[in-house]
Amino acid sequence: MARKMGFYGILAYIVFGFLAYWYLFYLADTSLPFEFQGSRADPATFLNPREYMLSEEYSKIRNLLFFLSTPYEWLFYFLVLLVGLSGAFKKWGKDTFQHKLLQNGVYIFWLSLFSYAATFPLSYISYNFSKTYNISTQSFPSWMKDELIGFWVNFVTLLITISVLYWLIQRSRKYWWLLAWLLSIPFTLFIMFVQPVVIDPLYNDFSPLKNKELEAKILDLAGKADIPANHVFEVNMAEKTNALNAYVTGIGGNSRIVLWDTTLNRLSDGEILFIMAHEMAHYVEKHIYIGIAGYLILSLFGLWLTSRMMAWAIRRWGKELKVDDVGDIRSVPLLLMILSMLMFISSPASNFVSRYQETRADRYAIEMTGNTDDAIGSFQTLTKAGLSQVNPPLLVKIFRYGHPTMLERISRLEDYEVEQRNKNTD
């Protein structure tokens, strides 16, 4: 039975991969609707034919890798259970240490290591394509350094999470999910608080913005929005990528406004001020805190559903999965697989909310800065630098896009421009 389940699991993944490839490369229509042709949202107005061709090719490959990687993770955890690797990891832990926490550490280490090894090919392919299309400028040693940092950060996080979670399961089989959710609230807030000053600097070098004239303009903009900001940070990303970005991260006293140096190098001051006004809108409209609240609500329902699905799966296929109890650490791959599935299923809803917030932020930014040429110029340069599709396929938008498409963002700015022109003529 276990062999049959494994065969059907692999077959299902292969079929899904072919369907995803067929959809992205043959079925999906990414052409610009007739009514937008010739507008400033039309790629033909700011991309040359070669750039447009490369953006379509790169986007299709990147989207295919996304749709392949998530179910690949599910398949990996499924096979780890079926072939008995989870049981082997547990045995190695018991053979090495007597203390429960140290046994858990051995188990999580081997699970993390096998998971990293299994997913490394897809990660490397993604990195290699980014280099080929001149998005990534990162050397292989630098990329591997980031990969290894990510491995150890994930290992420590998973070790703490799993150790606490399974301790709760042992204490309360019925309500462990609720207790875990209650503990996740301070843990989530703590991670968000320390991320800008502890985790992010592990990957990149941050420093106060060197262009003090631009910083003064940004802080003046922040003052008009009643944002208590004293510094703007820049991060050295040119050694890793040609893409552009800016963001607000952290909560409370550790909040930071961050600009990539690639953004500083490619955009004018006016375009940067529009981007900064957009990021400030998230602070003004409390999108960060709304996002935290939404995440906690979803995680409460997700943990409850996970507890039910784990118990059902073990009752139904415990023998094949080689797990006979929810509290047995051998069930960790089942837990991670279910959580990953639920996150993927819920992503359209969370992306929809995110796109709404980003639309609000765009509106706030253009009303604050008032310069549609700079705003549209910034989006055109972002598209060009990242080889992004202006009008991505519907399923890609639903599952991948936390921002509106560039077609939507630029066309809304053009609509705003028309609104202002009409107001001025009345």
pLDDT band at 252 (very low <50, low <70, confident <90, very high): low
Q: For 145-154, how does the pLDDT look when each residue is reduced to its tens digit (9 = 90+)?
A: 999 999 999 9
Annotated binding site: 278, 282, 358
Higher pLDDT, 400 or 238: 400
Query: Annotated catalytic, 362?
Result: yes
Please provide the distance, in angstroms rounded to a whole number, between the alpha carbons at the two ends of the chain.
75
Average pLDDT over residues 176-184: 92
Answer whether 266's CB lies under 8 Å from 381's CB.
yes
Give residue 239's pLDDT.
86
pLDDT tens digits along 294-351: 888 999 999 999 999 999 999 989 888 899 888 899 999 999 999 999 999 999 999 9
Task: Using the CB atoms, write b or e for 304-325: b if 16+ within 10 Å.
Answer: eebbebbeebbeebbebbbbee
pLDDT surpassing 70 at residue 426:
no
For the ranges 21-25, 132-136, 313-317, the one whose mean pLDDT is highest: 21-25
Dihedral sign for Cα atoms in the order 43, 47, 48, 54: negative
Residue-level length of the chain? 426
Question: Residue 169's pLDDT is what?
Answer: 92
**Of 76, 12, 77, whose CA–CA distance to 323 is shortest?**
77
- The mean pLDDT of 93-114, rounded to a whole number, is 91
Q: Which two tokens mark 240?
A: 């890793």
Q: Which of 215, 234, 271, 362 is catalytic?
A: 362
pLDDT at 109: 95
What confidence score (pLDDT) does residue 207 get? 84
Instruction: Choose among 72, 55, 85, 89: nearest CA to 17.
Output: 72
Can you give the C-alpha Rg of the chain in angstroms? Answer: 24
Catalytic residue among 279, 328, 417, 419: 279
- pLDDT for 229 equals 65
What pLDDT does 340 receive? 94
Q: How confident is the model at residue 254 (pLDDT cuts 50, 70, 90)?
A: low
Active-site residue 226, yes or no? Answer: no
Residues 6+ apart with CB under 8 A from 25: 60, 64
Q: What is the pLDDT of residues 368-412, one digit of tens each?
A: 988 899 999 999 999 998 889 999 999 999 999 999 999 999 999
- Known binding residues for Zn(2+) are 278, 282, 358
Residues 147 and 202: their CA atoms lie apart, in Å, by 11
What percent of the chain stands above pLDDT 70? 97
- pLDDT band for position 38 (cuts 50, 70, 90): confident
Mean pLDDT calculated for residue range 260-267: 89
